[in-house]
Structure 1
Amino acid sequence: MTRVYKVNAFVQNNRGGNPAGVVTNSENLSEQRMQKMAHEMGFSETAFISSSQQADFTIRFFTPNKEVDLCGHATIASFHLLQEQQRIHTGRYTMETKAGILNIDCLEDGTIYMQQNVPQFCEVVPPSEIVPCLHLEKSKFSHDIQVVSTGLRKIFAPICDLATLESIAPNYDAIIEVSKKYSVTGIYCFTLEVESCTARCRNFAPLVGIYEDAATGTSAAALSCYLVQHRLQKVEACTQFSFEQGYSIAEPSLLKTRLQVQNEKITRVEVAGRAQTEKYVDM
């Protein structure tokens, strides 16, 4: 039997968050077995932790239907659980992923900081290609729609206001087609027209089995870079942002990011959050 924990990452006041499956000892699991378990658990991602010869841990991430290179909320969930089980303590650790070896900082208050890759700013997507995906008019996009990656390629769609963001009725078939065309995991929609945080966000990634989720760490990190690149936020040497997500599915979540910028170039990207272990099952 293999024990799989359900851990909610990016919780806000111990509520909401994005659930991830976490297996803390996957040394003897085949890739086929990991995929089957992830499918049966049904979370947007399940993380499988094992030893590494290059880092403190190796972590692999599986959606219900495929493996992905990296996952922010499942990473936060994994290191929260390792800390809760006293396998790690306050300090810096490294993890080996298919996106590279990344640093993780575990703070005393339970906050987990996860390093991302420096950003890659890729194709600008014509609004006409996103209109049918979201059932929106072109006028509802406030800035350029662009593919950005800090580990996973995603289309970032800036929405003019909160009411429009909340009204989006995604066309999943159209999103799958545009995701295939641009080799991305999905579309991350956001609006800056909020007062409680930097932006309110929604994530649609049906190509990898995620119709909408409560918190997407890799996307929040890449969005921070998008905002800096397009000069939509004030930039300092160390710039911090906060993002709300999951409100449309009644799972309110809070994601924090931190960028280091030197000579107008982003040199370090981190996403941070807290997590809460809910339960486990034996499979």
Structure 2
Amino acid sequence: MKLKVYTVSSFAKTLEGGNPAGVVLDADSLSEKSMKKIAGAIGFSETAFVMKSDSAHFKVRFFTPEEEVDLCGHATIAAFYVLLSKGLIKPGIFLQETKAGILSVEVKEDSSIMMEQNVPSFYETVNKKEIADSLNITENEMIDVLPVQIVSTGLRDILIPVKNIDILNSIKPNFEEVSRISSKYNTIGYHVFTFESLYGSNAYCRNFAPLYGICEESATGTSNGALASYLHKYGNTKMGSDHQFVMEQGYSMKKPSEIIVELIVEGLVVTGVKVGGKVMNLTEIGVEI
């Protein structure tokens, strides 16, 4: 039996860019085993399975080729773009039930999608030498005044500041070590960034999550939500007064991506996080189940 699967590129800056995700609609009848099999067959970093919900407009589950994860930014963007494109929803605000909680998603008139994430949680700082060794760089190539820290707006990531784009682009990780350290700290992976950018953005990023079968990802919504929150906490001077951030990612993979993050701030406290962007390249494929 063939199952209809939609594929799109979320956060795409160009037709070649973005982060591809699979989307399966009406997935209520699928078992967890089937969802894992489908995600593996598609082979993208995440696939979203859209279902009915008693507590929100939709329930969405997210699978990497290896595991289920609580939340995925780019697959959420993909799912709601497909729902819009197929005429199942119109522009507006919707609630999605996820394992990270019930979160809102805004579908804009220009077909861009902004998703709510959890308010940020800041966890332990991580030894810089341990991280540097796993990335095959030196501690001197990291930014001295900023910590390597675990932050989550839905998924725990290790945020790692380095000094410039040349250093970041030259990184060749030891993926076994990155997986071991990610597991040790109960995180999804590494989000490595620099304040240098190609197009005047707040940060230029690379993301490594080999523990979940993703050596490198071209655009990560949850990681960049965490990064914007981290930049706000540590007083990033490039932050605009409206608390909007633009992150560049995927250029090292020749998949240019642009991720928009909006923080809602009361006083000095982040009370809301929204992440989103554009979507391109909607296609339909059949997958045997």
State the TM bucket, normalised to the shorter chain. over 0.9
1:185 counterpart (185, 188, 204): 188
Match of 1:159 in 2: 162
Normalising by structure 2, report the TM-score: 0.95
Do 1:189 and 1:201's aligned partners in 2 also have CA atoms closer than 8 Å? Answer: yes
What SS is found at the alignment partner of 1:173? helix
Do 2:60 and 2:97's aligned partners in 1 also have CA atoms closer than 8 Å? Answer: yes
> Is 1:229 matched up with 2:230?
no
Do 1:228 and 1:234's aligned partners in 2 also have CA atoms closer than 8 Å? Answer: no
> Is 1:35 matched up with 2:23?
no
Per-residue CA distance 1:247-270 (angstroms, 9 max, x = gap): 111111110000011110001100
> Is 1:89 matched up with 2:93?
no
Match of 2:202 in 1: 198
2:173 counterpart (170, 175, 197): 170
> Is 1:282 matched up with 2:286?
yes
Deviation at 1:195, TM superposition (A): 5.4
Match of 1:69 in 2: 70
d(CA) in 2 for partners of 1:180, 1:82: 35
Q: Which one-letter code corresponds to 2:46 in the other structure?
A: E
Q: Which one-letter code corresponds to 1:244 in the other structure?
A: E
Gaps of 5+ in 2: none
> Is 1:149 matched up with 2:152?
yes
Do 2:15 and 2:281's aligned partners in 1 also have CA atoms closer than 8 Å? Answer: no
Deviation at 1:14, TM superposition (A): 3.6
Match of 1:59 in 2: 60
Superposed counterparts of 1:59-138, under 5 Å: 59-138=60-139
Deviation at 1:194, TM superposition (A): 2.2
Change (3 A) 1:163 1:237: closer
Per-residue CA distance 1:183-233 (angstroms, 9 max, x = gap): 000000000022521110000000011100110000011100000111123
More moved, 148-157 vs 135-144:
135-144
More moved, 230-239 vs 111-120:
230-239
Do 2:129 and 2:139's aligned partners in 1 also have CA atoms closer than 8 Å? Answer: yes
Aligned residues: 283
> Is 1:24 matched up with 2:25?
yes
Change (3 A) 1:111 1:31: same
d(CA) in 2 for partners of 1:236, 1:262: 15
Deviation at 1:281, TM superposition (A): 1.6
Do 1:237 and 1:261's aligned partners in 2 also have CA atoms closer than 8 Å? Answer: no
Q: Which one-letter code corresponds to 1:165 in the other structure?
A: L
d(CA) in 1 for partners of 2:238, 2:229: 12
> Is 1:259 matched up with 2:270?
no
Normalising by structure 1, report the TM-score: 0.97
Deviation at 1:236, TM superposition (A): 6.5
d(CA) in 2 for partners of 1:167, 1:127: 18
Deviation at 1:24, TM superposition (A): 1.1
Q: Which one-letter code corresponds to 1:11 in the other structure?
A: A
Deviation at 1:277, TM superposition (A): 3.6
d(CA) in 2 for partners of 1:166, 1:11: 20
Q: Which one-letter code corresponds to 1:176 in the other structure?
A: S
Residue identity over aligned pairs, in percent, reads 45
**Where does structure 1 differ by over 4 angstroms across 4 or more consecutive aligned residues?**
234-237
Change (3 A) 1:236 1:279: closer
Do 1:5 and 1:281's aligned partners in 2 also have CA atoms closer than 8 Å? Answer: yes
What SS is found at the alignment partner of 1:32? helix
More moved, 80-89 vs 234-243:
234-243
Do 2:14 and 2:257's aligned partners in 1 also have CA atoms closer than 8 Å? Answer: no
